[in-house]
Amino acid sequence: MTMPSAAATEQRLVINRLGARGDGIADTQAGPVYVPYALPGETVRAGLPAPDPLDGRAARSSHGRVEARAALIAVETPSAERREPECALFTRCGGCATQHMTPETYRAWKRDNVVATLARAQVDASVAPLVDAHGAGRRRVTFHARRAEGIDAVGFMAARSHTLIPIENCPVLDPALGRAPQVALDIARLLLPKGKPLDIQVTATAGGLDIDVRGHGPASESIRRTLTQAAERLDLARLSVHGDRIVERRAPSITMGKGLVTPPAGGFLQATAQGEETLARLVLEACAAAPRRIRRAADLFAGCGPFSLRLAEIAEVHAVESAASALAALDRAFRAAQGLRRITTETRDLFRRPLLPIELATYDAVVFDPPRAGAEAQARELAKSTVPLVIAVSCDAGTFARDAKILIDGGYSPVSITPVDQFRHSAHVETVGVFTRPDARRSKRPRA
């Protein structure tokens, strides 16, 4: 449990509801008080920081009341929905926020967050039950590495803190990352003497562990030799520094549909293998259910092809992405695969240069999966288009709701909205929204 600071005042609080981050919220006369790791119905003792009249940074609710954050001291009356956490570091490590919830409470809370976010954006649509896509666990992890008082450590940060919590194992990771903390520590010991804190990203691939180190700066020749020897000793597939490949002993490949992709060092991947499969399945099911056959599709913010390589089993695909290295990986996988229809690629910044309605007119379906900032500019152009089917995939409920509202205001109807959970024990949730335009007309295509 979190402990209050010396200046905190202790209060007894009754928790009324859960917040969007998983905190318990006590509604008091002074305003809501957020208590991490507390559940509705519980009576808790919590430490509240002493108010500072000179501090103007206090958060305020939409009603203008001050929102206070408290530290949980003890649970006096536990909820029946409380369970024992699976990790001994829970409440110290900031990686998980909800291990104290029963699975039923957790699933309802996560889905309710999506429902509430859509309601705030005035999106009137039903939300399907939460789909569990944790699978074997997260296949990618980023460790922070620090040297303090001559001691090297790798781990995760404490919640809302820069305090490093050393990690030896993590229950939410894929077993293929079981040795990742020790490997990261071995790499850190070679580089931390330079004095810079590091971020070490480790990905489980078919070829073995793929590691990209950030924070060190360009690697000198001597460092490159040292890291090459370490990669051999640690049996790594690939080792890179800031995306610069130091050594590749085996291809760090990922299977995506019928394609075998070698993502660029440090490039984006869905958090879990099952999460990627689930999102792609929902996209393909929407295409299969479309009134018209999908012959040509656009995959926007395509990355290295998790959707493109699967969509190409049923349609020609045009993949658009700002990272040329990701598209190059997609193109290589497509050319080596069998049984796929044509995939073309285009390097383009869709935030600044979204596809316009005239460019969108030849597509039967458009899929977009943007970063956390969403796809506002592209959604506005889609809202003016005649594309019959639009499928939005998002890792942020707020920007998803905003983009969905733009599509609906432009004449699209929401067919389904499905929350997908591949970030177990966190507040993050993926959302897949399927939208159709009832008045869409098939545009004329030039003859081949």
Name every residue whose Cβ is closer than 8 Å to that of residue 304 and which is 6 or more positions away in sequence. Answer: 256, 261, 263, 264, 267, 268, 269, 326, 327, 329, 330, 333
**Residues present in the chain in total:** 448
Which residues does the annotation mark as catalytic?
395
At residue 269, what is the residue type?
L
| Strand bridging mode 430-436 / 365-368 | unpaired
Question: What is the b/e burial string over 27-48, where b = at least 16 CB atoms within 10 angstroms of the residue's CB?
Answer: eeeebbbbbbbbbbbbbbbbbb
Distance CA 236, CA 175 (A): 16
Cα dihedral: 342, 348, 351, 352 (round 10): -140
Dihedral sign of CA atoms 196, 199, 205, 209 in order: positive
Please report, in angstroms and rounded to a whole number, the separation of the first and last CA atoms in the chain. 66
Kindly state the tokens that stand for 259: 């394609």
- Residue 200 corresponds to which tokens in the numbers above? 């070490």
By the 10 Å C-beta count (0-12 exposed, 13-18 middle, 19+ buried), 223 is classed as middle
